[in-house]
Amino acid sequence: MGQYRQHVFVCTYGAFCPFDGDTEQVLKRLKARVAAAGLQNEIRINRSGCLNQCGHGPNLVIYPDAVWYAHVQPADVDEIFESHLLHGQPGAPPGSRPVARLLYNAPPGNNKETAHYPPAVQDLEKQEKANDKRRAALYAELRAAAEAAAREFAVHVRQDRGRCSALGDRGDMTAKQQPRTRHVPQRTCVVCRRQVDKRRLTRVVRTADSGVLIDPTGKRNGRGAYLCDQPACWDKVIRQPGILNGALNAQVTEAEVAAIAADPRRREALSQLLDLLADELPANEQGNVVQGPHILLDTHDSFVFSEQRLIAAIGLQRMIVIDTADALLICPRERAQEVKGITEALKERGLSAYLA
């Protein structure tokens, strides 16, 4: 058994069979009946070239039955399908049989009889044959062109390989394959929207069993959001938990916010900020990093920043003094991470406006 239980070939070629009947409709109706019965994987309907039985058409043949039909019209399709194809398969009920009135009985081989066709039909048949020859010649030209192009491409490939080999022998590094650049995943900070290397960010994840928490590995299952190393971003998330609510599609609790605020990475972020400022603003001879108007006496290893006002200090050691337009911060450098206590106190006293 081949790919199909039965294979039907309908002659639609040339001028003679189509003149004898609507071969395209025969083909179309057969396909429709097979599809409606869900037998596309068992019965295949194909158009064929000339079957050399011109004058007895439209013709169709069914294999492997080797049953030929002649003078088939579109109105005969239903009977052929139901009697022969649908019920004529192995295991079909008794009475299944080919359509006797349409059976084609002729000697084996070529049985063309075309003398009775009108001259116009004869001329159309000749045109069809001439078109076949032109089509065959065109295909031959296309194949020859494709083969020539393939040969030329193969020559260029061999030449290129030879040049690369020669360059390699001379030690020319340009001929060697360059190492592939490793892709580094990028992620976006949920606050400042800065996109950086994923490894430089801290991931906050909403887990199924433990709620919202910091993911040190960056690999825990769950919806995640990322925080960069800027203290302002950490502080804003803590002051405005709604940022995480939207990013994680969850309601972050006060306890979860407190855990994020207490995470060592937040303290590291503030420490990194001070180190960065120290790098950008080199310390003076006393070890002080200073920005803005100031007078410092007997003051060492401190960080002093002022937007406008003069800062005067005496006897400071390892202190932080930050003066802005609406607030002043003073604390030891070692206790910078405890700034969150001031944040909580401002909230308790109804002074949250200073946190904006």
Tokens for 248, please give them. 């994680």
Beta-strand pair 43-48/6-11: parallel
Q: Is the pLDDT of residue 175 over 50?
A: no
Of the candidates 269, 186, 285, the one whose C-alpha atom is nearest the C-alpha of residue 231 is 269
Q: Is the pLDDT of residue 93 over 50?
A: no
User: Which H helix or E strand runs over 148?
Assistant: helix 119-169
Q: What percent of the chain has pLDDT over 70?
A: 82
| Domain end residue (candidates: 265, 291, 316) | 265
Is 159 in the same domain as 195?
no
In the beta sheet, which residues pair with residue 312?
Answer: 295
* Spacing of C-alpha 8 from chain mean position: 42
For residue 277, tell me if it sits in a domain.
no
Is 228 in the same domain as 316?
no
| Cα-only R_g, the chain | 44
For 246, counting Cβ atoms within 10 Å of its Cβ (0-12 exposed, 13-18 middle, 19+ buried), the class is: exposed
From CA 106, how far away is CA 336, in angstroms rounded? 106
Average pLDDT estimate for 214-224: 88
pLDDT for res 313: 93
Is 164 in the same domain as 248?
no
Ranking 115-129, 163-177, 202-216, 217-231 by mean pLDDT, the lowest is 163-177
For residue 344, tell me if it sits in a domain.
yes
Is 37 in the same domain as 96?
yes
DSSP 288-310: -EEESSEEEES-BS-EEEESSS-
Tokens for 200, please give them. 């430089």
Tell which wins on pLDDT, 178 or 98: 98
* pLDDT tier, 332 (very low <50, low <70, confident <90, very high otherwise): confident
| Domain end residue (candidates: 67, 102, 137) | 102
pLDDT for res 88: 61
Tell which wins on pLDDT, 96 or 331: 331
From CA 211, how far away is CA 257, in angstroms rounded? 11
User: 223 lies in which domain range?
Assistant: 188-265
Is 291 in the same domain as 331?
yes
SS3 category, 314: strand
Is 12 in the same domain as 96?
yes
Tell which wins on pLDDT, 186 or 89: 186
Is 13 in the same domain as 98?
yes
Is 48 in the same domain as 81?
yes
In the beta sheet, which residues pair with residue 205?
Answer: 213, 224
* Spacing of C-alpha 198 from chain mean position: 22
For residue 276, tell me if it sits in a domain.
no
> Measuring CA to CA, how many Å separate 321 from each of 209, 270, 290, 339?
43, 14, 10, 12
In the beta sheet, which residues pair with residue 294?
Answer: 311
Angle in degrees, CA 288, 290, 293, rounded to 5: 135
Tokens for 172, please give them. 């020319």
For residue 183, tell me if it sits in a domain.
no
| Domain end residue (candidates: 201, 235, 265) | 265
DSSP 198-266: GGGSEEEEEETTTEEEEESSS--SSEEEEE-S-HHHHHHHHH-THHHHHHHTS---HHHHHHHHT-HHH
Q: Domain containing 197 — which CATH number?
A: 3.30.1230.10
* Size of the chain, expressed as the number of residues it contains: 356
Tell which wins on pLDDT, 96 or 314: 314
pLDDT digits (tens, 9 = 90+) for 289-325: 888 899 999 999 888 888 788 999 999 998 989 887 6
Is 301 in the same domain as 340?
yes
Is 129 in the same domain as 96?
no
Beta-strand pair 195-197/186-188: antiparallel
Is 10 in the same domain as 98?
yes
From CA 300, how far away is CA 315, in angstroms rounded? 8
Average pLDDT value for the chain: 81
pLDDT for res 2: 72
Token pair 């972050």 in the structure block, residue? 252
Tokens for 174, please give them. 């340009």
Q: Is the pLDDT of residue 45 over 90?
A: yes
Q: What percent of the chain has pLDDT over 90?
A: 22
For 7, counting Cβ atoms within 10 Å of its Cβ (0-12 exposed, 13-18 middle, 19+ buried), the class is: middle
pTM for this structure?
0.40
Q: How many domains does the chain have?
A: 4
For residue 57, tell me if it sits in a domain.
yes
Q: Domain containing 58 — which CATH number?
A: 3.40.30.10
Q: Is the pLDDT of residue 50 over 60?
A: yes
Is 93 in the same domain as 12?
yes
For residue 115, tell me if it sits in a domain.
no
For residue 275, tell me if it sits in a domain.
no
Angle in degrees, CA 103, 104, 106, rounded to 5: 145
Average pLDDT estimate for 14-18: 83
pLDDT for res 233: 83
User: Residue type at 65?
Assistant: D
